[in-house]
Structure 1
Amino acid sequence: MRNFIRRTAAALAVLCMAALLLGTPTEAEERTYSAGGEAVGYYAGWAAYQGFTPDQIPAEHLTQINYAFAQIDPDTLTIALENPAHDQKNLAALRKLRQQNQHLKLLISVGGWSDSQYFSDAVATAARRESFAASCVDFVVEQGLDGVDLDWEYPVSGGAAGTIHRPADKQNFTLLLQELREQLDRQGRRDGKDYALTIAGAAGSWYLNQIEAVKVAAIVDHIFVMGYDLHGTWDTYADFNAPLYAPSGTSPQSRSSISDCVQAYLKKGIPAEKIVLGMPLYGYAYQGVKAQNNGLYSTYTSAKSVSYKMLKKSYLDNTDYRQFRHEEAQVPWLYGNRTFVSYDDAVSLAAKAQLARSLGLGGVGFWEISQDDGGELIAAASGAFRSTWDNPFRDVPPGAWYEEAVQYVYEAGLMQGTTGSTFSPDRASNRGMIAAILYRLEGRPRAGTPPFTDVAADSYCADAVAWAEQQGIVRGFDDGTFRPEGRITRQQLAAILFRYTEYRGADTAGRTDLSRFSDSAAVADYARDALAWAVSAGLLQGRSDGTLDPSGSATRAQTAVILQRLETLLEKN
């Protein structure tokens, strides 16, 4: 391996949202994904040297962690640790992490790009295969692990310089897996547990031709398809690391895609449930590229691997770089300072996970966990794979604090996207939009003509505004306007929701003492009762700085959350 989510029940919504500060998610709302397929992450031993220790792993989003890597002792042809003291310390920390997250499986991964030299020797005879398998089983038992992951790069040919190959690797790989499976099962019967056996495989049909793919798939629990490095620093031209689909335009070099690679596995006869789609938490930066096509397909003078952690630190917030997204390939890139940066973000990884889900694959996975130190990419992909709704919005990443609410308002027909594929969660809500939402919530009752000079009869919100004004839910301004496109303030929203709740005959008796907010004096007289009720009812809460911010905007994401809370409140009355 190279360097490298239908609305929930009202009661659940109350539990999940009770602590939410408007616009700011809290730790209590971080989603835990615990059902539906595997989410596999490789944790590299060297990550601890770089300050990312096992306790920082986002275990709530994973089902399996593979510790990378153990190697093969060239003298004994058995499993060995490269740095025993350091590796055993990491393994102890991983076991502690598993105690706190009992859904987790911990596997030792053997091999990798740099440590696959001696696989061919270790599998060349039956005696060697038996000895190597026994050493792996003994290691798993001694270290209290849950199984073995083999990352042989690669049988027959390929891999790092110095890797030993034999034509018989193709058959011997299968025989090794059979031996290892038998010994793990035998040990499992003694221990009363099921030990896992998995492998990592390259993303390409060439790899499938070098192993007995169908036989291998029948033995192992899953194959982690390394869905990355389709292009990289070994190419002549700057290109996408892991495009989901191949761009249709002309390319100066070979074109492939993650979709193509998955289809190659399926066409080979490997059951979909045996495939875990691996995804990169890193990209490549190519320096010395040309400005044409914003660096894509340009020659370059130098290149390097860049972790998502480093991308956030040095590129994504750097105004010297412009962000682009290839609509066909469904991946982003950056261009600036004569540099082309291919990478994946939460949106592109969620798209890959959605493909995996649509194909019925066994799970998703990641190389390498420490490269996503905030865990946002892992959460996005894991959440998308376990999603219970068909999310059409690429800017509503799975696991986002407002995702459930967006799902609710979208499926209930209360809010639509700003386009077919975007929700624009950060855009401010406007007054016409709020009237339209409440109108839809009431089933679009018959309405007359809006009495305001700036709401045309053919406006999308005309019927809504007319109905809401007739019911005393909305009011206009002294100049006879409604200002439908004007942003709605928090106190205006509170006032409208207060009147709508009264219209529905629900309880509006509760009041919070607004004097506890440092800017309570800024609340307009017309909105004081409404805001005191809205805070008491849990629809709005203060900002994290102790203010109420009555004149502040409400974004579309915040509006969705408030509407979900409002529906819960109304269902209780």
Structure 2
Amino acid sequence: MLSARSLQWFYLLVLLSVTTVLAAEETQAANDCDWYCWVEKKINSLEKQVDKITKLLFPDVDNNTSTSIDDNAPNAPTGHPRYPSSFGAPYASITANHGVAKLISRPIVTVTPTGRTPIATSTPSEPKPDVQARAGYRSLAYFGNWDIYGRKYFPQQVPAEKLTHLLYSFADIKSDGTVVLTDTYADTDIHYQGDSWSDSGNNVYGAVNQLAMLKARNRNMKVMLSIGGWTYTNTNKHLDTPASTAQGRQAFAASCVDMVKNYGFDGIDIDWEYPQNTTQGSQFLAMLTEMRSQLDDYAETLVYADAAGRKTKPHFLISMAAPAGDTNYRLLPLGKIAAVLDFINLMAYDYAGSWDKTSGHASNLYASTSNPLSTPFNTYGVVNAYIAAGVPSAKLNLGMPLYGRAFTKTRGPGLPYDGIGDGTWEKGVYDFKDLPLKGAKEYYSKEAGATFSYDNSTGMFISYDTLNMALRKVDYIKQNKLGGAMWWEVSGDRTDKGSIITNVVRGLGGSDGSGIESSSNWLAYPDSQYDNIKNAYSH
């Protein structure tokens, strides 16, 4: 049966045939304009007449839009309700019989577009489709909320297409267990290009908004909130109190759920540096277990079904930044913790630094027998200890530094030093992208499995992973069947062909990238208190 639009063009063809006959008779018109120009004018006039006829015959048809709705179009008409749909998909599929994707375990919520203009530098108007699930290596990087200041490193610069997970750092913890963001300007307030100052409703901006849009563009990158870090949990001991009671752990877990649902995170990373005894180690396990329970319970309220009836729900991730020193990890019930966590980010760096009496390798793979003072710790021993404690190797992500630790006025690793140098942003620490320093030469110690630079004229020794060393660690990850690579932190990497992240991901994933884990992030957050998080990707 012909649709209204088909009939419309049928009338147009009939009338066009008539005009063709008339064209032969209208010689005067042909003198003023060639035949083709004359026909074009007639077509424009006749199309207007056809529109009038169509409106008379089919008054309910909108001639400016197609009769079939493409709900995947960025500018899909807004006269139809939008529902939270299948896993991460931005639009529901509306079929001829008005079937919609429904949220199974809660009332269906109708949402409408916010009119927010996404920034041109980070996201198109519509997220890419879900990615297909595939096992493989993980690639994770930490991104600090302080990076936007002196470093001038912004969310839009994150190499999202190379990462399976981005860990946004750091949130803090109140004594009652409430999780709080630590820099409101960087986290939620700063307006980037394209952010409106006149959006209606309650909206969030800053890195939270930018990362939400970035993950919509890169569906394989999950964004997690990292809670804790050295200052908040070691210096200030902010996890000690809430972790010590059942009430505090429940409040902390509930607050983690709030962070996920309000800010659009895919999960939580815990960086407790460090539980000080086995009692705190057990409390840490209990806290993670409570988090797992509450995040799973919340996920059960987000069960969706598409038009075909297929159900899906999010799996909100939990990870931890894990210590490499035996005085710290031996206090943790590692096997039980690993059973609760999705993966463990092993901090296989900072083995040596300004706290030591001698210079040393800061991220070496092996112990040195000829120069033991140069390798106070080593990755080989740490990895074996975790596996022996019951941690599956596939859950261990090998942490790698994107910076170097410096020692000045020394004759080399394992020897006394005097000073640590100015550093890039802090004393004694240089970004990888600034290394080697002018005048320094790079070296490789096969015995220690470590690289470093040394300047003979100044006696400056800097321990860091060169690109070649990072690629050797790719082999180590594969040989030991580890879960993947993690970096602290993303702003320190180069952006040219010497990028460690780019080359390691290529080494782990292969030329076609098939060796990298693939799993879609989550975009539907109908309970967010922020309208642009709640509405942006669920209409």
TM-score range, shorter chain: 0.5 to 0.7
Match of 1:221 in 2: 342
1:340 to 461, 486, 490: 461
Residue 181 of structure 2 is aligned to residue 62 of structure 1: no
CA distance change for structure 1 residues 287 and 146 in 2, over 3 Å: closer, same or farther?
A: same
Deviates more, 1:138-147 or 1:367-376: 367-376
1:91 to 208, 221, 224: 208
CA distance change for structure 1 residues 309 and 252 in 2, over 3 Å: closer, same or farther?
A: closer
Match of 1:323 in 2: 442
**Structure 1 position 84, deviation (Å):** 1.9
Match of 1:41 in 2: 141
Match of 2:249 in 1: 129
Q: Specify the code of the residue in structure 1 equivalent to 2:164.
A: T
Match of 1:156 in 2: 276
Match of 2:282 in 1: 171
SS of residue paired to 1:302: coil
Alignment of 1:531-542 (within 5 A): none
Q: Specify the code of the residue in structure 1 equivalent to 2:261.
A: V
SS of residue paired to 2:270: strand
Greater relative contact order, per chain length (Cα 8 Å cut-off, separation 6+): 2
Alignment of 1:144-293 (within 5 A): 144-156=264-276, 168-191=279-302, 192-252=313-373, 255-290=376-411
**Structure 1 position 35, deviation (Å):** 6.4
In the alignment, the residues of structure 1 paired with residue 383 and residue 267 of structure 2 have an alpha-carbon distance, to the nearest angstrom, of 25
Match of 1:378 in 2: 501
Residue 485 of structure 2 is aligned to residue 364 of structure 1: yes
In the alignment, the residues of structure 1 paired with residue 288 and residue 361 of structure 2 have an alpha-carbon distance, to the nearest angstrom, of 34
SS of residue paired to 1:238: coil
**Structure 1 position 326, deviation (Å):** 1.0
Judge conservation of contact 1:242–1:258 (CA < 8 Å) in 2. Answer: yes
In the alignment, the residues of structure 1 paired with residue 448 and residue 506 of structure 2 have an alpha-carbon distance, to the nearest angstrom, of 21
Q: Specify the code of the residue in structure 2 equivalent to 1:328.
A: E
In the alignment, the residues of structure 2 paired with residue 132 and residue 252 of structure 1 have an alpha-carbon distance, to the nearest angstrom, of 41
What do residues 136-183 of structure 1 show as CA deviations (whole Å, max 9, x unaligned)?
1011100011011101000125xxxxxxxxx52121111101100000
For structure 2, the residue ranges without an aligned partner over 5 or more in a row are: 1-133, 189-205, 303-312, 517-539
Judge conservation of contact 1:347–1:380 (CA < 8 Å) in 2. Answer: no
CA distance change for structure 1 residues 317 and 286 in 2, over 3 Å: closer, same or farther?
A: closer
Judge conservation of contact 1:284–1:306 (CA < 8 Å) in 2. Answer: no
**Structure 1 position 202, deviation (Å):** 0.6
What do residues 225-283 of structure 1 show as CA deviations (whole Å, max 9, x unaligned)?
10101111111111111111222313336633112211111111211111111111111
Residue 217 of structure 2 is aligned to residue 100 of structure 1: yes
Alignment of 1:408-557 (within 5 A): none
TM-score, normalising length: structure 1? 0.57
Match of 1:115 in 2: 232
**Structure 1 position 381, deviation (Å):** 2.1
SS of residue paired to 1:168: helix
Q: Specify the code of the residue in structure 1 equivalent to 2:441.
A: R
CA distance change for structure 1 residues 253 and 341 in 2, over 3 Å: closer, same or farther?
A: closer
In the alignment, the residues of structure 1 paired with residue 265 and residue 416 of structure 2 have an alpha-carbon distance, to the nearest angstrom, of 46
SS of residue paired to 2:373: coil
In the alignment, the residues of structure 2 paired with residue 273 and residue 253 of structure 1 have an alpha-carbon distance, to the nearest angstrom, of 29
SS of residue paired to 2:399: strand
Judge conservation of contact 1:245–1:329 (CA < 8 Å) in 2. Answer: yes
**Structure 1 position 298, deviation (Å):** 2.2
**Structure 1 position 309, deviation (Å):** 7.0
RMSD between aligned residues:
2.3
CA distance change for structure 1 residues 139 and 310 in 2, over 3 Å: closer, same or farther?
A: closer
Judge conservation of contact 1:151–1:201 (CA < 8 Å) in 2. Answer: yes
Match of 1:299 in 2: 416
**Structure 1 position 374, deviation (Å):** 1.7
Q: Specify the code of the residue in structure 2 equivalent to 1:180.
A: M
Judge conservation of contact 2:431–2:493 (CA < 8 Å) in 1. Answer: no
SS of residue paired to 1:115: helix
Instruction: Kindly name which structure, 1 or 2, has the bigger radius of gyration based on alpha carbons.
Output: 2
User: What is the percent sequence identity of the aligned residues?
Assistant: 30
What do residues 364-420 of structure 1 show as CA deviations (whole Å, max 9, x unaligned)?
11101011142711122222222479xxxxxxxx99xxxxxxxxxxxxxxxxxxxxx
Judge conservation of contact 2:406–2:430 (CA < 8 Å) in 1. Answer: no
In the alignment, the residues of structure 2 paired with residue 37 and residue 323 of structure 1 have an alpha-carbon distance, to the nearest angstrom, of 29
Q: Specify the code of the residue in structure 2 equivalent to 1:252.
A: L
In the alignment, the residues of structure 2 paired with residue 213 and residue 252 of structure 1 have an alpha-carbon distance, to the nearest angstrom, of 28
Alignment of 1:4-23 (within 5 A): none
CA distance change for structure 1 residues 306 and 284 in 2, over 3 Å: closer, same or farther?
A: farther
In the alignment, the residues of structure 2 paired with residue 262 and residue 35 of structure 1 have an alpha-carbon distance, to the nearest angstrom, of 21
**Structure 1 position 90, deviation (Å):** 1.2
What do residues 326-360 of structure 1 show as CA deviations (whole Å, max 9, x unaligned)?
12223221111221111111111111122112211
What do residues 39-58 of structure 1 show as CA deviations (whole Å, max 9, x unaligned)?
11100111111201011111
Judge conservation of contact 2:142–2:169 (CA < 8 Å) in 1. Answer: yes
Judge conservation of contact 2:374–2:413 (CA < 8 Å) in 1. Answer: no
**Structure 1 position 77, deviation (Å):** 2.7
**Structure 1 position 325, deviation (Å):** 1.3
**Structure 1 position 361, deviation (Å):** 1.3
In the alignment, the residues of structure 2 paired with residue 134 and residue 255 of structure 1 have an alpha-carbon distance, to the nearest angstrom, of 40
Judge conservation of contact 1:309–1:373 (CA < 8 Å) in 2. Answer: no
What do residues 275-322 of structure 1 show as CA deviations (whole Å, max 9, x unaligned)?
1111111111111213xxxx2222111115658974544x5262x212
Q: Specify the code of the residue in structure 1 equivalent to 2:147.
A: A
Judge conservation of contact 1:204–1:264 (CA < 8 Å) in 2. Answer: no
Match of 1:443 in 2: none
CA distance change for structure 1 residues 310 and 366 in 2, over 3 Å: closer, same or farther?
A: closer
CA distance change for structure 1 residues 235 and 306 in 2, over 3 Å: closer, same or farther?
A: farther
SS of residue paired to 1:114: helix
